[in-house]
Amino acid sequence: MTEIALPERPFFSCDAARFTVIDAFQMRTGAGLASVEPTCVFTVGTGNVFECAPLRVTSNEGKRVVVECEGDETVVLDFGDLAARKHTADGEWLYRGGLDEANDGLGFMRARLARG
């Protein structure tokens, strides 16, 4: 991925291997559906922004998208700052790269300790 942007009308797709963002304007016609190109694709993998399979988008406000994932994780994609963070039972974590490096396996660093 080189250019990361959230379309004005995003459509989100979650599956076990990836989280995909598509511009919904592309899907208005049957011909458009046949040639839809994702705006961005985040793959599930060790050290990637998505380390667990994405299940559903729980919030899409402004340039922030919140995604509930398997393993009781929540990933927050900030398309304004091109940054990502995740919330787990062990606390809050910041991705070590930008969204353009989301599939590069750079891993996370702790942002806050879990409250218990």
3-state secondary structure of 1: coil
> What pLDDT is stored for residue 1 in this prediction?
43
> Distance (Å, rounded) from C-alpha 44 to C-alpha 41?
10
> What pLDDT is stored for residue 74 in this prediction?
98
Half-sphere exposure of 49 (CA within 13 A, CB side): 28
More confident residue, 112 or 7: 7
Element spanning 56, H or E: strand 54-61
Q: Look-up: residue for tokens 């299940």?
A: 55
Q: pLDDT tens digit string along 78-108? A: 999 999 999 999 999 999 999 999 999 999 9
> What pLDDT is stored for residue 33 in this prediction?
55
Strand order in the sheet with 10-15: 10-15, 18-23, 40-43
Structure tokens at 84: 């990502």
Q: pLDDT tens digit string along 7-48? A: 999 999 999 999 999 998 877 665 555 667 899 999 999 999
The yes-or-no verdict on residue 3 having pLDDT over 90 is no
> Distance (Å, rounded) from C-alpha 4 to C-alpha 98?
10
Query: How many of the other CB atoms lie within 10 Å of CB of 80?
Result: 10
